[in-house]
Amino acid sequence: MSDFFLSLMGLAFWLQVVRISVPYALAALGGVTSERSGVIDLALEGKLLFGAFAAAWVADLGSSVWLGALAGAAAGVLVALLYGYLVIRLRADQIITGVAINLLAFGLTRYLLKLVYGSTSSSPPTPGFEGGLAANPLLWLLLLVVLVWPVLFYRTRFGLRLRAAGEHPEAVASVGVSVPRIRWMAVGLSGLLAGLGGAWLALDNHGFTAEMSGGRGYIALAALIMGKWRPLPAVLACLLFGFAETCQLHLQAVDVGVPNELVRSLPYLLTMVALAGFIGRSRAPAALGRPAPADGDRPWTGGGNDRPAPDAAREP
């Protein structure tokens, strides 16, 4: 037990917290971007998984970590394009499509794993991050994104339109701005960031393991809700979850009287508490999950928007 408190003091502990939190933070920032534009982002898990596979594969092929990271981002964007086509262009249900994309990611990455490496469980060791955490440019890129995102959200025209598209798409459309275009960009950015998050997983692990995302996409989703759909608080929530996970890793060996299952469930329970409004109201964007008014629809007839909004996205 005292060993645990000693390790809390060490730098190694905190570096591990950061390492664990990075994929959460990248995915959560992506999720915030997509959801603030009005598109539910349950597909984060799938984007992480595809990103991880592409990163490991290309890093292996090109024996380059950076090609791998690039491939991870590209894979995330590709998945986002498929998702965007289905839910923005064809207006498919966002919850069902998101869950199905995750199922597709689980199946297809395992299929490809067998196809490429002839293995059911993992790829052979591939190139990955070497040296210390501070020498990792991807970490600095994330820090840059963390600093830039609030500015992008609250200080730019794009950010204003993005938030408006998630709150009141008809208002955005009525001033001649295309809601679908904003949402395409938001969904694409989400794919880029989540794909990078997946790449981090694979490159940090020096290889791809089947189902290696292990629910991280859902934790990122939990973090963005904890952060009340705002970029900076969402990243802080990721750090909190990363901290909880690191503690759990260190506590596994010692019996502390706190049931391990409780520690493991903490992020999920905290999310439920946040959503229930016990730590300040966590409110989703008003138009979350609602298709955009179609370009050219007459606004007074409701256009393509006559489908009732999933009132889940609203307050009662």
Partner 1 sequence: MTRSELGREAFVLGFSLLVAMAAGSLLVLLLGESPARVYGLLLSSTWGDAYGVGQVLFKATPLVFTGLSVALAFRAGLFNIGAEGQMMLGGLAAALVGAALPVETCAWLALPLAVLAAAAAGALWGAIPGALRAFLGAHEVINTIMLNFVASALVLGLGHRVFLPETTHTALVVEGARLPSLGLAGSAANLSFVLALGAALAVWGFLSRSRRGFELRALGLSPGAAEGAGVRVRATLVAALAAAGALAGLVGCNFVLGYKHYYEEGMGRGAGFMGIAVALLGRGHPLGVVLAAVLLGTLSHGGVAINALVPKELVDVLQAVIILAVAASSAVFSHQVRRSGP
Residue ranges in contact with partner 1 by CB under 8 A: 42, 86, 90-93, 95-97, 99-101, 103-104, 106-108, 110-111, 114-115, 120, 215, 218, 221-222, 225, 259-262, 264-265, 268-269, 271-272, 275-277, 284, 304, 306, 308, 310-313, 315-316
Specify the residue for token string 């971007």: 33
Shortest approach of partner 1 to residue 108 CB, angstroms?
5
Which CB, 140 or 278, lies closer to partner 1? 278
Other C-beta atoms lying within 10 Å of the C-beta of residue 284? 20
Shortest approach of partner 1 to residue 163 CB, angstroms?
19
Shortest approach of partner 1 to residue 44 CB, angstroms?
11
Which CB, 89 or 155, lies closer to partner 1? 89
Which CB, 104 or 139, lies closer to partner 1? 104
Shortest approach of partner 1 to residue 167 CB, angstroms?
17
Closest C-alpha to 290, from 310, 315, 270: 310
Report d(CA 154, CA 172) in Å as an integer. 16
Which CB, 109 or 136, lies closer to partner 1? 109
Which CB, 77 or 225, lies closer to partner 1? 225
Helix/strand number for the chain, H first, E second: 12, 0
Shortest approach of partner 1 to residue 9 CB, angstroms?
28
Contact 69, 138 (CB under 8 A): yes
Angle at 184 between CA 178 and CA 186, to 5 degrees: 105
Alpha-carbon radius of gyration of the chain: 20
Closest C-alpha to 108, from 263, 213, 243, 191: 213
